[in-house]
Amino acid sequence: MSHPPSSPMAVVTAFLKAMEPLDYDSAAAMMAPDCAYTNPPPIGTVRGPAGMRAVLEPFFAPTIENEFRVLREAVNGPVVIVERLDRHRLADKWVELPVTGVFEVHDGLITYWRDYFDAATILSQWPGS
């Protein structure tokens, strides 16, 4: 029997690992029901696992493989900040996006997730944009 991650950094690491193969069910289980998930405009803020899926499932639909490389991390109590290089393999190329994510973890669940990135960088390389 596996035990859920205990530290805020362990929760965020497990969450990102679940998102690489787009295991939405496992990732959603690590989010609080009212978790606020915010992206730069035009996406904005959604709430909870259903909101996260509504944003990410259609966006990641063209990906064949995803990798979230954590370059730097900082933890202060429940707050975890990770500088990442998000890599997405599409049918014809890899697309890379530098991202900084800010998470809050309480009682083993992500209650806040905000990603900072340049939307134009990803949208200029993404299919259908």
Does the pLDDT of residue 3 top 60, yes or no? no
55: its two tokens: 């944003």
CATH of 8-123, one of 1.10.1060.10, 3.40.630.40, 3.10.450.50, 3.30.70.60: 3.10.450.50
* Residues assigned a catalytic role: 86, 115
Task: Report domain extents, the chain.
Answer: 8-123
pLDDT per residue over 10-65, tens digit each?
Answer: 999 999 999 999 999 999 999 999 999 999 887 889 999 999 999 999 999 999 99
Query: Would the pTM count as exceeding 0.85?
Result: yes
Report the first-to-last Cα separation within the chain, whole angstroms: 43
| 4 — pLDDT class (breaks 50, 70, 90) | low
pLDDT digits (tens, 9 = 90+) for 92-129: 999 999 999 999 999 999 999 999 999 888 878 888 76
Measured on CA atoms in the order 59, 21, 19, 116, is the torsion positive or negative? negative
Average pLDDT over residues 76-85: 97
